[in-house]
Amino acid sequence: MSLPYAPPSASAPAEAPAEASAVHLSAPRYVLGETAADHTTVEGLLERARGFGMPPRAELWGWGTVHRTAKTLEALAAETAGATLDGAGVSPGEVDCLILCSTRFPGGPRTHGAFVESVMAATGLGAAAFTGLTLGRCANLLAGIRTAQAYVAAGMHRRVMVVTADRVTDEAVRMENFALFSDGAASCLISAEPLGDDAYEIVAGAGAQDPAGLDWSNEISSDLAREVNERILEDAGMKIGDIRGVLHANLYKPLVVLKERQAGFTREQLFLDNIARTGHCFAADPLINLVDRDAAGALAAHGHYLLASSVPGVRIGVLLRKLAPHSAQAATTHTARLGDH
């Protein structure tokens, strides 16, 4: 649920134009596996739950719907990227870089070229530069967004498409002791100017790592989350209560609540609805939750929202400020006019 929000008064000053150095995230979009099914269809769920010492209580863990796909990763990536281009009102030729994220790219060095070629052809991105990110596991997307932000801020690229896509290839491991996995993909554009109606200024971001804690068997660290929060809040000149919502990974409810509360957030700042509705879509969760909260009218113009993801040994956070639609359009028009001179 969102924090209480009072609309600004009619006399409130208009939002100031974005600074030239600002970087924006625009047109977040996602796709889920086309086949939705109840968690009871997950192979060996009760047996695996017993093996993990988990009582079979769906309402406790947030077991709900899982989404499966018969599509390839290339198809998922292209579908969400196309939706982002449409939402931003940008043609493929105006994007000069693609960052592809996945927990596991199919094949190996002999097939990766064809994989990238397929995604580029399906999206129309043509000869855009490309980068692949995978080692961050379910933090890959936020690592990709931060990389894209650095590209844009440095002037290396003007508009960067960030895409993450993943699917379960072995149904026997769709359930783990921290989440029920769904297949899906998500995307956004990172650029100097806001694009389209749903745009956000990237206010701050940070990551923290503990190499000794990277093994899959380790717990998610709330210490790393607090470290990331401290760095982001210091850079933004804010307090943790100023963040209206946290868009976190859709892990089991008790795990999310425990770890994010230990990081300093209140339960009211969390968004737990999608744990049962979508399951854990690998790295895509923060953008999925951002899109859904916005669609529900739960994001306030000028409000601050944190994209956050943790895996054992890693925490990444990206703080966004939502722009009012008219402000995003005005900034885009202003930037376009400047480019004409």
Which of 25-34, 102-111, 135-144, 191-200 is predicted with the least confidence, judged by mean pLDDT?
102-111
Q: For residue range 48-61, what is the model confidence (pLDDT) as tens digits?
A: 999 999 999 999 99
pLDDT digits (tens, 9 = 90+) for 123-141: 999 889 999 999 999 999 9
Q: If you average pLDDT over residues 326-335, what whole number do you get?
A: 52
- Average pLDDT of the residues of the chain: 90
What pLDDT is attached to residue 127? 85
Q: Assess whether pLDDT exceeds 70 at residue 316.
A: yes
Show Cβ contacts of residue 306 under 8 Å, excluding neighbours closer than 6 positions. 232, 243, 245, 246, 247, 317, 318, 319, 320
pTM: 0.89
Q: Nearest-CA neighbor of 107 among 98, 116, 94, 99?
A: 116
Instruction: Provide the token pair at 327.
Output: 């402000």
Q: Alpha helices of the chain — where are they, by DSSP H?
A: 45-52, 58-61, 73-88, 109-123, 140-153, 222-236, 253-262, 273-277, 285-295, 325-339
User: The dihedral of CA 170, 171, 175, 177: what is its sign?
Assistant: negative
Digit-coded pLDDT (tens) for 161-204: 999 999 999 999 999 999 999 999 999 999 999 999 999 999 99
pLDDT of residue 334: 44
Angle of the 222-236 helix axis to the 253-262 helix axis, nearest 10: 50
98 pLDDT more than 90? yes
Q: Please state the φ and ψ torsions of residue 5, each to the nearest 5 degrees.
A: -140, 130
Residue 69's pLDDT is: 97
What pLDDT does residue 13 have? 39
pLDDT at 108: 85
Q: What is the pLDDT of residue 20?
A: 47
Handedness of CA 175, 307, 152, 122 (dihedral sign): positive
253-304 residue pLDDT tens: 999 999 999 999 999 999 999 999 999 999 999 999 999 999 999 999 999 9
Residue 14 — pLDDT band, cuts 50, 70, 90?
A: very low
